[in-house]
Every structure is written in structure tokens, then in C-alpha cells.
Amino acid sequence: MDAIERLVAERKFSAVIVSGDLTQRARAGEYQCAAVFLRDIERHAPAIAVPGNHDVRWWLAPMKVGREENLFGAWSRYLGRPIEPTLTVPGVTMVGLNTSQGITPRTLTWNMRDLSVIGDLRDEQIADATKRFAAAAAGDLKLLVLHHNPVRGELSHRHGLKRPARMMQALAATGARVVCCGHDHEVAIHFVEHASSGTIVSTAGTLSDRSRGGRPSACNVIEVSEREIAVETLGWSHASLGFGTTQRLCFPR
């Protein structure tokens, strides 16, 4: 975590995207640490963050029995942030959507391991993101921030979002050119083609010791110019105690 803070300070990013799971069990102490982390990051760059499934106290309203706001009470109390934020920096409009809905009838599968893990998006959320993007400045890159991965992980062989094919089409229909997500504990860069264009899906690796396949912790850096969008993966090195480039992919704007 210290290395991430140094990276943000040194690279002088326009913004930092935190795609959820700032906590492990949504405990008060974990949220307090997360608040300090975000505060320190924002000394150098504005940050946009959305909840992950670990950040949601799903047991307070399982199957929608109880008040839905209780699920996100700790997020609001300790971080003081909206769960579906908007952040605009020169040339880029970022819209956050909450895919961490807890246990609801829509997130149930036949696999018991999916309980409280699978993500979901409702039609009204997609409509809201479309509306927010429509208000963006002309020429802005439109970027969506989610927690759950809409593209299947190479090692996990799992999608984070329920109905992934339908959801991928819906995300593209908002006008988003880039989707940033996490959840899968393995870093990835995908390009999903559509009839008229394509969507870049940047899946951040975990910044913990729970990465898949023994792969190092990693994050992605997105660089935007008038002609292209470049996504660079930075992997953790025990030797240097820092992050170094492991891959870089470029896509025409």
C-alpha cells in the first residue's frame, strides 16, 4: 500500500480509480483504514471509488428483507462517499455504478459459492449512467467504474456479473468506451468488439496476498490521448519493493 501511494505521488495521475473491496468484512476498523488510504491518495489526485461485495453488509438485508440502505451504511458513515459517483477531469468523464447488491433473487445461482459474490445491474442504473454520460463535455472519453468483472477471468473461468453477455451490451450502450472493474483477483485487459465499435475492459489485479495463480499484485494505468487509449499493467516486484510494467496494450481512439 505504501508503494501504491508513492506511485500516485510520483506519476501525478489525473485521477485514481478504486474499483471496490476496500475492506474484507465491512468492519468499522477496516473502513477507517480505507478512509485514511483514500485521504492520502487524494492529496495527489482525485479518486473515484465504488463498493465491492466485501464492502457490503449483505446480512442486514438478505433477499431484500430489511432496509437496503443498511447494506451501505458503513460506506456512507466512514467514507462519506456516494456509492454511484461521477468524476470529471479534463478529457474524461467517469461514472461509477454499484454492482454489489448483496444477496437478492436476481443474484442467486445454483452454485452456493456465489452467495453474496455475484454482481448485478438494474435497468434504471444503466439508464442513469447513460443520462450522466449524455451530459459530458463533447469529446470526453466516457469511462464506467464497476466492481464485478463482466468478462470471464482467465484463471477463475468466472464472470463477476450476472447475465454477462447482456450486461456487456448494456454497458456499451451507455456510451462507455472503457470499463474499469476488479473483483476477480487477477489483472486483465480485454477488448470486446461490437457492431459499430468496441469496449476496453480494464480489470485491476488485487492489492493483497489473495491474487490468483500466485501472480503478483497489480494495477492498471490508463493513458488517454486524442488518437489512442493505452492500458499499462504494473505488477508488484518483491525485489524492488515497487511496481513495474508487465504489459502495455494500445487501442485506437
List pLDDT tens digits, range 116-139.
999 999 999 999 999 999 999 999
Asked if 228 contacts 177 with a C-beta cutoff of 8 angstroms, the reply is no
Would you say the C-alpha torsion 244, 246, 252, 253 has a positive or negative sign? negative
CA distance linking residue 209 with residue 195, whole number of Å: 39
Vertex 192: Cα angle to 187 and 195 (nearest 5): 170
pLDDT band (50, 70, 90) for residue 196: low
The confidence score (pLDDT) of residue 214 equals 87
Among 54-63, 186-195, 220-229, which stretch is predicted with the lowest mean pLDDT?
186-195
Domain count, the chain: 1
Asked if 94 contacts 86 with a C-beta cutoff of 8 angstroms, the reply is yes
pLDDT band (50, 70, 90) for residue 194: confident
Instruction: DSSP letter for 79, please.
Output: I
Q: Determine how many CB atoms are found less than 10 A away from the CB of residue 215.
A: 16
Instruction: DSSP letter for 155, please.
Output: T
CA distance linking residue 227 with residue 230, whole number of Å: 10
Tell me, what CATH number does 237's domain have?
Answer: 3.60.21.10
98-127 burial, b if ≥16 CB within 10 A, otherwise e?
bbbbbbbeebeeeeeeeebbbbbbeeebbe
Global pTM value? 0.96
Instruction: DSSP letter for 107, please.
Output: G
pLDDT band (50, 70, 90) for residue 69: confident
Q: 94: domain range?
A: 2-252
- Residue 209 pLDDT > 90: no
Asked if 1 contacts 37 with a C-beta cutoff of 8 angstroms, the reply is yes
Give the mean pLDDT of 234-252: 94
- Beta pairing partners, 199: 192
